């Protein structure tokens, strides 16, 4: 893809695919799942028939849009961890139903997360809200967009910054440390159990900062890129760049501004061992 028209056509095809998969594989199952169509992959991590059907449709569609590019889907990687090795090269990264916990319970939010990566870093990302149709798109070095309009990250402006802290994958000791040393400095709000919702909240004036413990590529590749391109900041607590090929590494901070990110990072650094 070299010309502006080719790039525009490419993005139009991806958007059409996201909407087609939503309409055919995801929404028909919303509030219409049988018990036999929901499984637990372990650790309270559900998967539904919609996740698997959507991932298969996305992988097939993306192969037609851009043949030859590796695909790393959440469900494929769960079935065969060797798929993760593709994250080291040029690849698509798919979370077919982000927020499956919500989707299986028949409530929002949930969405599709899609990214393209090269050399361990995402360079293009899409965040699609299946119920509202909101489409967030980011291109490395070219900005972040919502429904085609460029956006700039904005803090909430509240006297006490608003924080959504995911404790889900932290051990009990770390949860207690967070409650004692981090929580008092923020107004805590519930997490949406959906990265496809959390990242937009960090840029669009709903939340100021968020902490993630588990940082798998399909959950964060698109969101990290989009938030950074919007002028917020998402990075490892030590300041290093989030890489999709570091799938075992824990810890990530997202914030509506570099200043809010820095404040949280300093607080985490000062935590008692």
142 and 262 share a domain? no
Question: Residue 71, CB half-sphere, CA atoms under 13 Å: how many?
Answer: 22
Predicted model pTM: 0.95
9 and 112 share a domain? yes
Q: Phi/psi at 29 (nearest 5 deg)? A: -95, -10
81 and 9 share a domain? yes
Domain that holds residue 199: 162-269
pLDDT given for residue 42 in this prediction: 79
9 and 120 share a domain? yes
pLDDT given for residue 118 in this prediction: 97
Burial class (CB in 10 A: 0-12, 13-18, 19+), 223: buried
pLDDT tens digit string along 14-47? 999 999 999 999 999 999 999 999 999 877 789 9
Task: Provide the domain count of the chain.
Answer: 2
The percent of residues above 90 in pLDDT, for the chain, comes to: 86
20 falls within a domain: yes
pLDDT tier at 176, thresholds 50, 70, 90: confident
Domain edge (last residue) among 116, 150, 184: 150
Domain edge (last residue) among 100, 120, 150: 150
Residue 154 is classified by DSSP as: B
**Lowest-pLDDT range of 114-118, 164-168, 181-185, 187-191:** 164-168
132 and 222 share a domain? no
122 and 209 share a domain? no
**Lowest-pLDDT range of 97-106, 155-164, 180-189, 230-239:** 180-189
209 and 174 share a domain? yes
**Lowest-pLDDT range of 87-101, 162-176, 205-219, 259-273:** 162-176
114 and 218 share a domain? no
pLDDT given for residue 231 in this prediction: 98
């Amino acid at each position: 893809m070299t010309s502006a028209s080719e790039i525009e056509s490419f993005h139009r095809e991806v958007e059409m695919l996201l909407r087609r998969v939503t309409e055919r594989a995801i929404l028909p199952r919303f509030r219409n799942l049988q018990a036999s169509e929901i499984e637990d992959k372990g650790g309270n991590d559900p998967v539904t028939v919609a996740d698997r059907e959507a991932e298969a449709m996305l992988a097939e569609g993306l192969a037609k849009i851009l043949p030859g590019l590796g695909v790393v889907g959440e469900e494929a990687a769960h079935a065969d961890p060797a798929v993760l090795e593709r994250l080291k090269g040029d690849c698509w990264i798919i979370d077919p139903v982000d927020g499956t916990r919500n989707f299986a319970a028949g409530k929002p939010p949930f969405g599709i997360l899609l990214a393209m990566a090269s050399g361990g870093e995402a360079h293009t990302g899409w965040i699609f809200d299946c119920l509202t149709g909101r489409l967030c798109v980011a291109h490395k070095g070219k900005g972040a967009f919502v429904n085609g309009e460029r956006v700039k990250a904005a803090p909430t402006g509240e006297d006490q910054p608003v924080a959504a802290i995911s404790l889900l994958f932290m051990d009990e000791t770390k949860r207690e440390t967070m409650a004692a040393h981090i929580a008092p400095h923020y107004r805590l709000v519930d997490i949406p159990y959906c990265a496809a919702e959390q990242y937009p909240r960090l840029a669009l004036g709903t939340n100021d900062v968020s902490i993630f413990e588990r940082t798998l590529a399909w959950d964060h590749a698109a969101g990290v890129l989009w938030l950074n391109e919007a002028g917020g900041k998402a990075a490892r607590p030590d300041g290093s760049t989030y890489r999709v090929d570091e799938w075992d590494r824990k810890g990530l901070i997202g914030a509506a501004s570099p200043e809010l990110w820095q404040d949280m990072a300093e607080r985490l650094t000062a935590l008692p061992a």
